[in-house]
Chain A
Amino acid sequence: DAGVTQSPTHLIKTRGQHVTLRCSPISGHKSVSWYQQVLGQGPQFIFQYYEKEERGRGNFPDRFSARQFPNYSSELNVNALLLGDSALYLCASSLVAVQETQYFGPGTRLLVL
Chain B
Amino acid sequence: GQSLEQPSEVTAVEGAIVQINCTYQTSGFYGLSWYQQHDGGAPTFLSYNALDGLEETGRFSSFLSRSDSYGYLLLQELQMKDSASYFCAVRGDTGGFKTIFGAGTRLFVKA
Contacts and interface: CB of A to CB of B under 8 A. Distances in A.
Interface of A: 33, 35, 40-45, 48, 50, 54-58, 90, 92, 97-98, 100-107
Nearest to B33: A100
Given A104-B42, A107-B42, A44 B101 contact: yes
16 contacts: A33-B99, A41-B103, A42-B89, A42-B104, A44-B101, A54-B96, A57-B96, A90-B43, A98-B30, A100-B30, A101-B45, A102-B45, A102-B99, A103-B45, A104-B42, A106-B42
Contacts of B108: none
B91 A98 contact: yes
Interface of B: 30-31, 33, 41-45, 48, 50, 87, 89, 91, 95-104
Contacts of B87: 42-43
**Chain A to chain B: the 6 pairs with minimum beta-carbon distance, closest first:** A42-B101, A56-B96, A56-B97, A104-B42, A100-B48, A56-B98
Contact of B96 (A55, A103, A106): A55
A57 B31 CA distance: 19
Contacts of B95: 56-57
Nearest to B48: A100
Nearest to A100: B48
A90 B42 contact: yes
